[in-house]
């Protein structure tokens, strides 16, 4: 049975290949990190790619595409996107966001830096630059998670007709979801700088 025929099969196949590569290269690891940290960050980055990848899809592809479809008189319209694509994309998007946040927090808890990261490195006498750097990203990620679950998802359900809503509620919901999604796109850029900066040095 070809695993590539199903999404689950493809993901499981990817994990199996990852394990084979770990076993195959076990002999000459350059950097030896405790396994738990590696697994948490691996899952964190996979979930982060899913979340931010779909955020960029919504902002750079779907929203402009639906606007073009709406203004294209006699054209095919956007019904196929809103019925078959958007609900599935929103599923992977919001659960990807939650898993990204939970794995990020789990990593910080695991290395004993959760409180200092959210205190932006100010719990120690001299500022803890690691906690400050990753803390900036953790706060941005927390605001972005709030936007996803409290502003974007409830309003997208109204917009896509998944819950009852008046025309006025839908119009208001469109504006709130649009601005929350754009804000997340803006915040994603310094967030990823802080994620990478925590380990490779800030650009400053
Ligand atoms: C959009 C959301 C996020 C994305 C795309 C993201 C992405 C990443 C990436 C790519 C790394 C690896 C950096 C590297 O090793 O060079 C990373 C590391 C990390 N992220 Fe995130 N992250 C996100 C949100 C969060 C949140 C909300 C938290 C905390 C609650 C968090 C905590 C961490 C931690 C602790 C690390 C490890 C840093 C280290 O290597 O010491 N991340 N993240």
List, for residues 138-174, the tens digit of each pLDDT value. 999 999 999 999 999 999 999 999 999 999 999 999 9
Beta carbons within 10 angstroms of residue 183's beta carbon: 15
- Any idea where the domains of the chain sit in the sequence? 1-32, 34-200
Contact 44, 56 (CB under 8 A): no
Mean pLDDT across 179-203: 92
**Number of the ligand 1 atom closest to the C-alpha atom of 101:** 27
d(CA 187, CA 166): 31
Pocket test of ligand 1: the residue of 33, 37, 42, 44 to mutate, having most ligand atoms within 8 Å of its CB, is 44
Residue 181 CA to ligand 1 center (angstroms) comes to: 20
**Contact indicator for 27, 42 with CB cutoff of 8 Å:** no
Q: Is there an atom of ligand 1 within 6 Å of 101 CB?
A: yes
DSSP E strands in the chain: the ranges are: none
pLDDT above 90 for 201: no
Task: Check if 93 has its Cβ closer than 6 Å to any atom of ligand 1.
Answer: no
User: CA–CA separation, 101 vs 50, rounded Å?
Assistant: 12
Measure the CA–CA gap between 93 and 113, rounded to whole angstroms.
27
* Residue 198 alpha carbon to ligand 1 centre in Å: 9
141, HSE (Cβ side, Cα atoms, 13 Å): 29
The pLDDT, as a whole number, for residue 29 is: 52
CA of 191 to the centre of ligand 1 (A): 8
Let me know: does 153 contact 91? Beta carbons within 8 Å. Answer: no
Question: Residue of the nearest CA to atom 14 in ligand 1?
Answer: 196
Backbone angles phi, psi at 105, to 5 degrees: -65, -35
Which of these, 63, 58, 39, lies nearest to 188 by C-alpha position?
Answer: 58
With bands split at pLDDT 50, 70 and 90, how would you rate the model's confidence at 25? confident
* pLDDT for 108: 96
Share of the chain above pLDDT 70, in %: 95
Q: Which residues contact 129 (CB under 8 A, 6 or more apart)?
A: 121
């Amino acid at each position: 049975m070809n695993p590539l025929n199903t999404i689950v099969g493809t993901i499981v196949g990817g994990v199996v290949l990852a394990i084979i590569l770990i076993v195959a290269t076990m002999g000459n690891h350059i950097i030896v990190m405790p396994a738990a940290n590696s697994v948490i960050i691996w899952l964190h980055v996979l979930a982060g790619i899913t979340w931010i990848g779909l955020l960029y899809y919504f902002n750079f592809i779907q929203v402009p595409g639906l606007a073009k479809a709406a203004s294209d008189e006699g054209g095919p319209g956007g019904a196929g996107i809103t019925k078959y694509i958007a609900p599935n994309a929103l599923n992977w998007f919001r659960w990807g966001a939650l898993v990204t946040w939970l794995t990020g927090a789990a990593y910080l808890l695991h290395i004993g830096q959760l409180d200092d990261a959210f205190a932006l490195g100010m719990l120690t006498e001299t500022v803890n630059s690691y906690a400050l750097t990753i803390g900036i990203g953790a706060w941005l990620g927390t605001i972005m998670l709030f936007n996803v679950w409290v502003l974007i998802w409830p309003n997208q359900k109204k917009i896509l007709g998944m819950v009852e809503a008046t025309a006025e509620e839908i119009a208001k919901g469109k504006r709130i979801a649009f601005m929350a999604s754009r804000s997340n796109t803006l915040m994603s850029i310094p967030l990823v700088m802080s994620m990478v900066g925590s380990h490779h040095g800030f650009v400053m």
